[in-house]
């Protein structure tokens, strides 16, 4: 399969009163056409900033993409003019946001919000756009779409709004959708429905997807590959099944122990990871997970481990990855 | 919708009644009445008590308060304001031209202020912390700090000294000679419009900044919309509501509250009439003016509410 999006050594930081926040600190990952990739990590590790950097929507002037490349179909998005980038947004790459309650404009009708992208990117006339909007709402499982077009976001429940966001993202047949915690704000029962819907539509339409989540349970069922992020860096990457079976980083292991798994019988208790994520303005010189790590050795506090390949399609950034594997096997 | 409007209009009645009672009593609590005012200004403190009582009797001031109030109310019910106690001419005639003048100044000032404030506020918000923003902020802070009458005086002086010309000093209604009318009223409208515009600009800038930080603006940008469309379609409709309130209240205030500016420009507007009426203890005229301004406030308020409901679909008519 062809590589659709390739992020190389991306660095995004924010200037704040406390200093420079290195929210994304040299990450590289890629998405192939039609594939679903997950970006997993605790709150504040830089997942949203990664996605916003792709869209070049990082809040300015505090936030700045400081370096790296974002190659979309071989074209570096960071080198595009603002107008060229605008044409990419919503057309080639679409985004779904976490907060369905605030991400839709309260004073514009559902129809208006669905059709405007179509009119701009696809040059549709109002009648064509309307027909397409009805089709989209039906596609995401909103009953009675024709009547719904005239309604406003406050008439919709959280789940419905997220369906609407999905419809909006799919409107112009993008080849990649960045979904930033699309279900975190929803009820558990609705979360599964929305994720199923996204997976089915992505498969049917051949859209690649980046799913951002802090829930490894989601990853197992819906992603092909997983990137685990910690304090602005990728610390482990593998195919979803492989990551579950053989985590090669203590942080991933900790994450797996801290979430209930849908594919396992209920365990007696969950172990949250001890300690807090580091302050991104003052990262320690060594591995940023070292202070919380039970596998820590002296070397960990001295130099940061690189993301090294440990086999086909599996890499981990841990000096003690081999020991971790041995101890788990024993 | 029609029912809602009717309900709102009916709800104005108790408010107006309250205002009526209040102003009626308040006027009678301040010492002195129209008879004293007249004879005292004429310098004859030695007027006989009988003569003054006779005058009071003619004006109905000897009646018990509830009777006076009753006859005023029954007049209002027929939209008849009665006669001015000071000049003895019909109040409607007294107010007519002055109302036209004040209303026109208020409308002109609001139009100028709104047309400037909205784009300036948006511009400053979009270019936050750039030199454009600083320029707009200086412009609006200066506007807040400059009293309208002082600005008016400066304008008149400038025209006099530089152009050897002063605006007409006698009011010509718009329908008589639009040119003379505008040549006179544009200056006071500009003088009060500046401060008004400053208030509106600051409000527009701050609400716009707030709205631009909202999640739905980020969604709109992620959809690849043009900045212009994001501002006009997505941001403005949300940001304009509080600005609308400020602008309309300011508008209602302009109608009766321009005493000093009217003096500077020698305008016979409602503000001056108010001051005269009170100093003459002209009960009937003061009451009529208060009721007029109060009704105007309520109507403006009502129009704003309708506009809110129209702009924001979350607001329901109840
Ligand atoms: N506009 C901003 N200004 C300053 N710092 C920011 C800004 N946006 C994000 N950050 C910082 O960047 C870091 C990464 O934030 P990000 O939103 O990417 O986290 P996240 O992984 O998406 O977390 P969550 O799961 O809570 O959404 C955080 O430490 C945050 O404080
Ligand atoms: Mg986030």
Residues in chain B with CB shorter than 8 Å from the CB of A212 are none
Do B201 and B84 share a structural domain?
no
Is there a domain that residue B289 lies in?
Answer: yes
User: Looking at residues A82-110, what average pLDDT do you find?
Assistant: 94
Do B84 and B204 share a structural domain?
no
Domain end (from B39, B57, B91) = B91
pLDDT of A218 above 80: no
Q: What is the pLDDT of residue A131?
A: 96
Do B246 and B147 share a structural domain?
yes
Please, are residues A182 and A194 in contact by the beta-carbon 8 Å criterion?
yes
> In whole numbers, what is the pLDDT of chain A averaged over residues?
90
Q: What is the pLDDT of residue A163?
A: 94
Q: What is the pLDDT of residue A47?
A: 94
Residues in chain A with CB shorter than 8 Å from the CB of B211 are none
Instruction: State percent of chain A over pLDDT 70.
Output: 96
Tokens representing A25 are 């600190």
| Exposure of A142 in the CB half-sphere (CA atoms within 13 A) | 28
Count of domains forming chain B: 2
H or E segment and range at residue A137: helix A126-139
Nearest CB among B215, B226, B314 relative to A97 is that of: B215
The mean-pLDDT minimum among A181-190, A264-273, B192-201 falls in: A264-273
Is there a domain that residue B140 lies in?
Answer: yes
Contacts for A221 with CB less than 8 Å, ≥ 6 apart: A195, A199, A262, A263
Domain end (from B91, B110, B134) = B91
* pLDDT single digits (tens) B104-163: 999 999 999 999 999 999 999 999 999 999 999 999 999 999 988 899 999 989 988 998
Do B256 and B228 share a structural domain?
yes
Is there a domain that residue B317 lies in?
Answer: no
Q: What is the pLDDT of residue A260?
A: 65
Do B263 and B219 share a structural domain?
yes
Going by pLDDT thresholds of 50, 70 and 90, the confidence category of residue A265 is low
CA dihedral A238, A243, A247, A251 (to 10 degrees): 80
| Domain span holding position B56 | 2-91
Going by pLDDT thresholds of 50, 70 and 90, the confidence category of residue A264 is low
Intervals of chain B under pLDDT 50: none
Do B63 and B7 share a structural domain?
yes
Return the higher-pLDDT residue of B36 and A36. Answer: A36
**Cα(A33) to centroid(ligand 2), Å:** 24
Do B192 and B47 share a structural domain?
no
Please, are residues B187 and B156 in contact by the beta-carbon 8 Å criterion?
yes
Is there a domain that residue B276 lies in?
Answer: yes
- CATH code where residue B209 lies: 1.10.3720.10
CA dist list (Å): B119 to B123, B218, B251: 6, 22, 19
H or E segment and range at residue B132: helix B131-145
Is there a domain that residue B212 lies in?
Answer: yes
Do B264 and B164 share a structural domain?
yes
Sign of the Cα pseudo-torsion (B145, B148, B154, B158, in order)? positive
pLDDT of A143 above 60: yes
Do B113 and B34 share a structural domain?
no
Do B210 and B135 share a structural domain?
yes
**Cα(A46) to centroid(ligand 1), Å:** 6
Is there a domain that residue B154 lies in?
Answer: yes
pLDDT of A168 above 90: yes
Domain end (from B46, B67, B91) = B91
Residues in chain B with CB shorter than 8 Å from the CB of A120 are 223-226, 229
Is there a domain that residue B318 lies in?
Answer: no
Probe site for chain A from B207, B223, B309, B314 (most A CB atoms < 10 A): B223
Is there a domain that residue B194 lies in?
Answer: yes
- Taking CA atoms only, the protein residue closest to ligand 1 atom 30 is A44
């Amino acid at each position: 399969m062809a590589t659709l999006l390739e992020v190389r050594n991306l660095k995004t930081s924010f200037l704040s009163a406390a200093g420079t926040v290195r929210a994304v600190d040299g990450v590289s990952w890629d998405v192939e056409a039609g594939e679903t990739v997950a970006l997993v990590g605790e709150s504040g590790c830089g997942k949203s900033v990664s996605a916003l950097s792709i869209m070049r929507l990082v809040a300015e002037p505090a936030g700045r993409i400081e370096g790296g490349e974002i190659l979309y179909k071989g074209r570096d998005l960071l080198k595009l003019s603002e107008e060229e980038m605008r044409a990419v947004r919503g057309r080639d790459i679409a985004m779904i946001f976490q907060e369905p309650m605030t991400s839709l404009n309260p004073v514009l009708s559902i129809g208006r919000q669905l059709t405007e992208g179509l009119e701009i990117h696809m040059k549709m006339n109002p009648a064509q756009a309307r027909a397409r909007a009805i089709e989209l709402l039906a596609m995401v499982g909103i009953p009675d779409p024709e009547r719904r077009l005239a309604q406003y976001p406050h008439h919709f429940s959280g789940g419905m709004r997220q369906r609407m966001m999905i419809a909006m993202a799919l409107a112009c047949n993008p080849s990649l959708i960045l979904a930033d915690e699309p279900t975190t704000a929803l009820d558990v029962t609705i979360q599964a429905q929305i994720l199923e819907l996204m997976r089915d539509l992505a498969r049917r339409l051949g859209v690649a997807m980046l799913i951002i989540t802090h829930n490894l349970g989601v990853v197992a069922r819906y992603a092909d590959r997983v990137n685990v992020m910690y304090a602005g860096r990728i610390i482990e990457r593998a195919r979803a099944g492989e990551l579950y079976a053989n985590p090669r980083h203590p942080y991933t292991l900790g994450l797996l122990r801290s979430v209930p798994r849908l594919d396992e019988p209920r365990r007696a208790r969950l172990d949250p990871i001890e300690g807090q994520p580091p302050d991104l303005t003052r990262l320690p010189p060594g591995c940023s997970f070292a202070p919380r790590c039970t596998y820590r050795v002296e070397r960990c506090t001295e130099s940061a481990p690189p993301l090294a390949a440990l086999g086909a399609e599996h890499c981990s950034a841990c000096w003690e990855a081999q020991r971790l594997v041995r101890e788990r096997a024993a | 919708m029609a029912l809602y409007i009717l309900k709102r209009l009916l709800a104005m009645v108790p408010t107006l009644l309250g205002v009526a009672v209040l102003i009626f009593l308040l006027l009678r609590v301040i010492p002195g009445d129209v008879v004293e005012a007249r004879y005292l200004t004429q310098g004859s403190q030695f007027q006989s008590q009988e003569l003054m009582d006779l005058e009071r009797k003619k004006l109905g001031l000897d009646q018990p308060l509830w009777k006076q109030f009753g006859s005023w109310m029954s007049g209002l019910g027929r939209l008849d304001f009665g006669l001015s106690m000071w000049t003895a001419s019909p109040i409607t005639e007294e107010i007519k031209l002055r109302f036209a003048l004040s209303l026109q100044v208020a409308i002109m000032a609001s139009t100028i202020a709104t047309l400037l404030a909205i784009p300036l506020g948006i511009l400053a918000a979009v270019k936050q912390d750039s030199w454009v923003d600083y320029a707009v902020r200086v412009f609006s802070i200066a506007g807040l700090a400059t009293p309208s009458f002082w600005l008016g005086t400066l304008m008149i002086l400038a025209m006099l000294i530089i152009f050897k010309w002063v605006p007409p000093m006698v009011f010509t209604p718009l329908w008589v000679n639009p040119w003379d009318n505008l040549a006179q009223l544009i200056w006071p409208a500009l003088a009060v419009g500046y401060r008004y515009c400053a208030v509106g600009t600051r409000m527009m800038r701050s609400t716009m900044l707030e709205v631009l930080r909202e999640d739905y603006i980020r969604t709109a940008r992620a959809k690849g919309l043009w900045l212009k469309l994001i501002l006009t379609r997505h941001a403005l409709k949300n940001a304009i509501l509080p600005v609308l309130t400020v602008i309309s209240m300011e508008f209602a205030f302009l109608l009766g509250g321009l005493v000093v500016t009217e003096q500077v420009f020698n305008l016979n507007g409602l503000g001056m009439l108010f001051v005269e009426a009170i100093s003459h203890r002209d009960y009937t005229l003061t009451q009529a003016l208060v009721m007029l301004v109060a009704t105007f406030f309520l109507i403006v308020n009502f129009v704003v509410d309708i506009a809110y409901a129209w702009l924001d679909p979350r607001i329901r008519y109840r």
